[in-house]
Amino acid sequence: MAADPRSLDDRRLVEAYVKQRNEDSFLQLYRAHTPALFRMAWRLGGLAPADVEDVIQETWLRAARSLDRFRFQSTLRTWLTSVLINCMREARRRTKEVDGDNQPEPVAPSRSTGLQVDIERAVASLPSGMREVFVLFDVEGFTHEEIAGLLNIHAGTSKSQLYAARRKLRHALGGALRPVAVRKTNHG
């Protein structure tokens, strides 16, 4: 099986950044991965727009400080996702401490209409654990084993959270949501 060109390019760029602190290499990594991280942060929800921007910035600050310890045991995208999830959880905790239990309703930048908007709102209304598993599995294409590692849960917990999330979504959408037939299979 041929190596993924994105992973090979990521490895080359990470090595250049770590060895030489090459800003151009870091900028290329940033440009390659930020759009996906941004979309994922919106889908994971629970933060106001300004907080999402801050989370993306914090994700990259932490990544820059830790890239020398990244060993490519997963794709860079998977590793960045774990950093993003940790930053999002911390931001949600801070938001709860400041605002109490009033969670901002995420309003993702989108041109979607109709059923797609209903689905986005239904996903945003899921409890955070279910929402994280649903987004990571059905939208981003991670396996239950990868999700277990990202969220520090068991693979069986990931499966049960996904089942519960899909059931809640079908109920919220009045049966309009059918089992996901198409999954993104390459998240890295």
Note the pTM of the prediction, 2 decimals. 0.80
Find the mean pLDDT for residues 20-36.
95
Nearest CA to 52 among 40, 61, 66? 40
Identify each DSSP E strand in 19-169 by its residue range.
none
pLDDT band at 179 (very low <50, low <70, confident <90, very high): low
89-141 pLDDT per residue, tens:
999 998 877 766 555 544 444 455 577 788 888 898 999 999 999 999 999 99
pLDDT, tens digit (0-9, with 9 covering 90-100), for 127-159: 999 999 999 999 999 999 999 999 999 999 999
Above 80 in pLDDT, residue 170? yes
pLDDT above 90 coverage of the chain, percent: 64
76-99 vs 49-66: helix crossing angle, rounded to 10: 130
DSSP classification of residue 135: I
Q: What is the CA radius of gyration of the chain?
A: 17
Q: Which domains does the chain have, with CATH numbers?
A: 1-109 (1.10.1740.10), 110-188 (1.10.10.10)
